[in-house]
A and B are shown apart, each in its own frame.
Chain A
């Protein structure tokens, strides 16, 4: 799986043990959450609410780290950091940077779910 940290994912697999449904639930939750959080970030930008934008990116950072989507997590951390220093960095351009990494991560997890 590209874009996914094997060590973090292995920890989830270990926690799941033989219970494939549990692992699938986590991956499904992540895939759903990506859409929801990206939507929240877009809404926050439309409303000019930098705090809500940072919170949304922060949430995506946390859940990405939990499932091993390290590329997404790193990018979220950078966007969050920049937006805290300068509210102008909370922008649609910043959010667009997340589109491709999140797509790759979700695709990797979907492949795992189909396997």
Chain B
């Protein structure tokens, strides 16, 4: 079935468009977006209920290049969400658990890469808070281990961002710090920044194993056995 290629352009400029199939006039701003499994969904006709995903390329191009600004914004948002969704799908291809290590000290990354490999998943690295957040949105890590003092975005603020973002709120976050020591800071980290575990530097192999074992209990069987007393019950770091 071919659509009527002459109709959409002028009508859409005024926030209205004619259905590609039944030619009924619809509002481009209020019409529902279709639920087709596609990175480029289209609008649904209020009369016949059909979308124009299967209209000709010229018809769709004419519609979107001349439609109202609000439709453009919505369209852009949908494409961004589709991108994030495809990133999430890509994240599903990573070996789990995915552990993101954030520190501007390279030594920490070398040690973490070695130790966290024992958990059998994927270890990712970032050196500032902003890059870490962007990487987390794309890869949906199971655990984020971050320094507190970081360039661009503080590690505790990174935790709050992750915990208040729909896509990443499931991430467990551990903050390791040489700066914010003491019970007051631990309590603030848990309550205000929603941090799951808190530890003090230096970042040793023992510290990293302990955090990962406690916050990734489903993967703890991957851990190389520790002598008795080396690990503690979940929540002990909080």
Interface residues of A (CB under 8 A from B): 8, 11-12, 14-15, 22, 25-26, 29-30, 32-33, 55, 58-59, 61-63, 65-67, 77
Q: A58-B178, A66-B204 are in contact. List 4 more A-B contacts (CB 8 A).
A: A8-B202, A55-B151, A63-B105, A77-B178
Q: Does B211 contact A (CB under 8 A)?
A: no
- Distance in angstroms from A58 CB to nearest chain B CB is 5
Q: Which of B88-146 contact A (CB under 8 A)?
A: 103-108, 110-111, 114-115
Which single residue of chain B is at the shortest CB-CB distance from A8? B202
* B-chain residues with CB within 8 Å of residue A61 when the two chains form the complex: 178
Chain A residues near B61 (CB, 8 Å)?
Answer: none
Q: Across the interface, do A63 and B149 meet the contact criterion of CB distance under 8 Å?
A: no
A15-B114, A22-B114 as given contacts; A33 in contact with B106, CB under 8 Å: yes
Which residues of chain B have C-beta atoms less than 8 A from A25's C-beta? Answer: 110
State the CA gap A71–B187 with chains docked (Å): 31
Do residues B111 and A66 form an inter-chain contact, with CB atoms below 8 A?
A: yes
Does B236 have its Cβ within 8 Å of any Cβ on chain A? Answer: no
**Assembly CA distance A77 to B149 (angstroms):** 14
A11 to B114, CA, bound (A): 13
Instruction: Assess whether B196 is interfacial by the CB under 8 Å rule.
Output: no
Known contacts A25-B110, A26-B111, A63-B107: does B147 contact A11 (CB below 8 Å)? no
Contacts of B105 in A (CB 8 A): 33, 59, 62-63, 66
B149 / chain A contacts, CB cutoff of 8 Å:
55, 58
Given known A-B contacts A22-B114, A30-B107, A33-B106, A62 and B204 have beta carbons under 8 A apart: no
Q: How many A-B residue pairs have CB under 8 A?
A: 58
Distance from A66 Cβ to chain B, minimum over Cβ atoms (Å): 5
Contact check, A62 vs B202: say whether CB atoms are below 8 A apart.
yes
Q: A55-B104, A58-B149 are in contact. Are A65 and B202 (CB under 8 A)?
A: yes
Known: A55-B149, A55-B151, A58-B179. A63 touches B201 (CB 8 A): no
Cβ-defined contact, A65 with B178, below 8 A? yes
Instruction: Answer yes or no: B160 CB below 8 A from chain A CBs.
Output: no
Bound Cα distance from A25 to B106, whole angstroms: 11
A26, A32, A62, A77: the one within 8 Å of B203 (CB): A62
Least CB separation from B109: chain A residue: A29
In whole Å, how far is B36's beta carbon from the nearest beta carbon of chain A?
Answer: 49
Chain B residues positioned under 8 Å from A33 (CB to CB): 105-107
Once A55-B149, A55-B151, A66-B202 are accepted as A-B contacts, the answer to whether A29 and B106 lie under 8 Å apart by CB is yes
Whether A59 lies near B104 (C-beta < 8 A) is yes
Residue in A8, A15, A30, A66 with the greatest tally of chain B CB atoms within 10 Å: A66
Contact: B108 with A66, CB < 8 Å? Answer: yes
Q: How far is the CA of A62 from the CA of B149 in the complex (A)?
A: 11
Q: Which of B104, B107, B179, B206 contacts A66 (CB 8 A)?
A: B107
Does B104 lie within 8 Å of A26, measured CB to CB?
A: no
When distances are taken between beta carbons in the complex, the residues of chain A under 8 Å from B39 are: none
Q: Which residue of B lies closest to A12 (CB)?
A: B111
B205 at the interface (CB under 8 A from A): yes
Q: In B151-181, which residues have CB < 8 Å from any A CB? A: 151, 178-179
CA distance A66 to B208 in the complex (A): 13
* Contact across chains for A26 and B151 when beta carbons are under 8 A apart: no
